[in-house]
Structure 1
Amino acid sequence: MYNENWLSAIKVVIFDMDGTLYQEDTFLERYIRYLLEGTEHEEATDEAMRLGRAIIAGEHAIGFGHFYHMRDDVGLVLEGERFVRGFTWEGAAIEEGTIREYGAFSEQAVHLIPIGDPWGVVTALGRKYRLPESKLRSAFDRVRQEMLLPPHRFERHDKLFEALEALGAVDKKILLTNTHFESGIAFMGYMGIRHLFDDVVCGANKPAGLHAYFNALLAQGYQAHEILSIGDNPWNDLHPAKKLGGRTCMISPYPSGDPEIWDLRLRRLDELEQLMRAIQESITRRNRADGQDRAEAYQQEVQG
């Protein structure tokens, strides 16, 4: 299943947190409800929930791996540096001539939100209804607090955390999350995982933050192929690493419209657990073989 040659070369693993070390999307409808309640758009709550569910299920033209254009209120599909397709919230395709007018990604970046995970879906819907930043933040904080308490507390995958702890053959295990400090620390505390990582960065500002962190590792002497980035949001967690030559692993149970091909594509947390154990075993086997080779070479040298 795995390519042991490159697994055994891994020295640094960079993890995302939300959607990567736990998987949970039952918050979606509550999050949307909290966003719209008390606003002029509250009557659109059912419709917004329907849109959110359709995107997660892969039943809408706009989907994971696409970008939401805040100014024009449409979804766009990126291939390379240019947009190739676009859709309205009603599912209608945007004319090819209009798509060409968007030009390169860099020309539109300020207007774009990547729809890479359920959080991105709700963020796009919040922008669709032109909600203020304060409303987005209060709804986010409310649903995050609920996720740590009954009856909405998400399930811990303790076997994954055990495999993470057993992954001692790599030099570094890093956690980069865009979640702000308070919520990030609370989630790590609930999962009991802070001690598993050599470095933790909350409010990591990915994708730019991952790009910068990766470059810092290269400056320390690591080779790009020795660094593995794991996450559920391609734009934030994987594209920066791949552009710099790193290894990538996407883990997500959802269909994705992102055309990029990753080194590994996982869907469930038990698969990620297996990958952690496979990396440990691959590195251990290579170290054992290297040691044996050196011992045999030394013995031959002594024997003349």
Structure 2
Amino acid sequence: MNWLHNVEIVLFDLDGTLYQDGTFYKRYLELLFDKGEHAARLEEFLVEMASLLEGSHPSSIGDWYHPGSDTWTRGGDLTVHRDWQGQQVEAVPDTAEMASIYAGDAWSLVSIFAAKYGVEEGQRQLAFQQVRKEMLQGASSFERHLDLYEAIGGLTGVRKRILLTNSPENTGREFISALACTDLFDEIVYGAGKPSGLERYMSELIEQEGLRPDQILSIGDHAWNDLYPVRKLGGQTVWLSPYPSSEMVQWDVQLSTLDELADLLVMLQQAQEQKLEQQAEVNT
């Protein structure tokens, strides 16, 4: 990874990047479906969700779900649609009101279940906020990762460490405060509107900071939101995901655990220190 010494800006995602939690989706689905016409199917949904994450389902992380036709596609091939059992079907085109959903992480998979079974957006948002609240109360496997936060704090060789999250400020600020990592970042952007918001933000950074695209590194677990916009503009990418995926793009670095991410950030700082030493030698 000879490019590490070029990095001047590091962009971080929040969910799945500053913490990992493999159980929250169970409570999320429960809040969405424990009442109403689909309540009797909650256990079925939990099993299907687990199979999507484990890679034993016909669809997986990295696929696209199309609510308008209740079908899945894989990669950039929008001509081959499959149903939930993996059988190829003739698809009905999606409508603007029912936009396709990229299965980027567990959060987006829950959104797919909500879209499939007609959960209103207001109800989903209330469930999301309740899950966030319960995570802070210790009702899941959510926990701080001290080695990672130490590694982020130790990134003194880069120009800026920036956190961008699609979470609205009212829930995101409380959550980040509970992680006790607010002071680790030079800037925190709430409601970032990724992926399009990330592309705009990076373009502005390049102009304002006088940077080349390859001097910006983005780290995230949701490839469509966190990495595709940066790769499109020529930046560096780190994909952090513990789940099997159909994603075919080869990111600059692919990791599965927060321990691995902490190690990478230590390597990044070491590369920055070596660059400074070499520059000092040239100037003496």
Q: Same fold (TM over 0.5)?
A: yes
Tell me what 1:37 maps to.
34
Contact conserved, 2:53 with 2:61, CA < 8 A, in 1? yes
What are the within-5 Å matches in structure 2 for residues 4-19 of structure 1? 5-19=2-16
Q: What letter matches 1:282 in structure 2?
A: A
TM-score, length-scaled by structure 2 = 0.95
Question: Structure 1 residue 67: deviation in Å?
Answer: 1.1
Pick the aligned partner of 2:244 from 225, 239, 255.
255
Tell me what 1:276 maps to.
265
Tell me what 1:294 maps to.
283
User: For the residues of structure 1 that align with 2:72 and 2:192, how far apart are their CA atoms?
Assistant: 25
Deviations 1:58-93 (A, max 9, x none): 1111110111111111111122xx425432112223
Deviations 1:213-269 (A, max 9, x none): 110111121110000000000000000000000000000111111111100001100
Structure 1 unaligned residues grouped into runs of 5+: 296-304
Q: What letter matches 2:110 in structure 1?
A: V
Q: SS at 2:73's partner residue?
A: strand
Deviations 1:156-201 (A, max 9, x none): 1011001100101000101011111122111111111111111111
- From the superposition, tell whether residues 108 and 256 of structure 1 become closer, same or farther in structure 2 (CA, over 3 Å): farther
Contact conserved, 1:29 with 1:49, CA < 8 A, in 2? yes
* Structure with max Cα Rg: 1
User: For the residues of structure 1 that align with 2:85 and 2:244, how far apart are their CA atoms?
Assistant: 20
Q: SS at 2:193's partner residue?
A: coil
Q: SS at 2:86's partner residue?
A: coil
Paired positions, count = 283
What are the within-5 Å matches in structure 2 for residues 147-162 of structure 1? 147-152=135-140, 154-162=142-150
Pick the aligned partner of 1:239 from 201, 204, 228.
228
Contact conserved, 2:23 with 2:141, CA < 8 A, in 1? no
Segment drifting more, 178-187 vs 260-269: 178-187
Structure 2 unaligned residues grouped into runs of 5+: none
User: For the residues of structure 2 that align with 1:231 and 1:42, how far apart are their CA atoms?
Assistant: 33
Pick the aligned partner of 2:83 from 85, 88, 93.
88
Tell me what 1:300 maps to.
none
Q: Give aligned-pair identity as a percent.
A: 37
Contact conserved, 2:21 with 2:140, CA < 8 A, in 1? no
- From the superposition, tell whether residues 247 and 65 of structure 1 become closer, same or farther in structure 2 (CA, over 3 Å): same
Q: What letter matches 2:201 in structure 1?
A: Y
RMSD: 1.8
Pick the aligned partner of 2:164 from 163, 169, 176.
176
Tell me what 2:51 maps to.
54
User: For the residues of structure 2 that align with 1:7 and 1:109, how far apart are their CA atoms?
Assistant: 42
User: For the residues of structure 1 that align with 2:97 and 2:149, how far apart are their CA atoms?
Assistant: 36
Question: Structure 1 residue 151: deviation in Å?
Answer: 3.6
Tell me what 2:23 maps to.
26
Deviations 1:120-157 (A, max 9, x none): 01000000001111211111111111101134361110
Contact conserved, 2:68 with 2:98, CA < 8 A, in 1? no
User: For the residues of structure 2 that align with 1:17 and 1:256, how far apart are their CA atoms?
Assistant: 20
TM-score, length-scaled by structure 1 = 0.89
User: For the residues of structure 1 that align with 2:24 and 2:228, how far apart are their CA atoms?
Assistant: 27
Segment drifting more, 51-60 vs 32-41: 32-41
Q: SS at 1:173's partner residue?
A: strand
